[in-house]
Amino acid sequence: MRLHQATIESDTRGRGMLELTAEVNAIVADAGIEQGLATLFVHHTSASLVVCENADPTVRRDLEAWLARAVPDGDPLFRHTAEGPDDMPAHVRSALTQTSLGVPVRDGRLDLGTWQGLYLYEHRRAPHRRRVSVTVLGS
């Protein structure tokens, strides 16, 4: 049984999703692990992880539209407003999506469904540098 750990640093362009699948697969290849588990973790509370369809970009557009309506920026409900009208919504969106994801590794790569992509979801309007850790366990 082996363990490999690496970090992805991503510069986001503001609110929206950034696909990480290729970078995570590169880490799994570096690990030299054929079978096991890759666990992603995002080191932030205003960005998160989602597994989303990677074929039609309107899926990501529509998920964003639903979240923007369900957790509106500038909602008077929120008191944590010092960092801007999109800050508290970013925390709520992060709580509703994922901070960690465990993905099976088979044949030396992520065993994702045909249409699944791993995405970093930036919830702030401004660009940010974000950090995602990948821990690969297996043999």
Q: What are the residues binding a second copy (CB under 8 A)?
A: 1-3, 5, 35-37, 39, 41, 43-45, 50-53, 56, 58-59, 61-63, 65-66, 69-71, 75, 77-80, 88, 91-92, 94-104, 106, 111-113, 115-116, 131, 133, 135, 137-139
Residue 26 Cα to chain centre, angstroms:
16
Between 13 and 115, CB nearer to a second copy:
115
Between 34 and 125, CB nearer to a second copy:
34
Are 32 and 137 in contact by the 8 Å Cβ rule? The answer is no
What is the nearest approach in angstroms of a second copy to the Cβ of residue 124? 13
What is the DSSP annotation of 59-111? HHHHHHHHHHHHS-TT-TT----TT-TTHHHHHHHHHHSBSEEEEEEETTEE-
Between 65 and 126, CB nearer to a second copy:
65
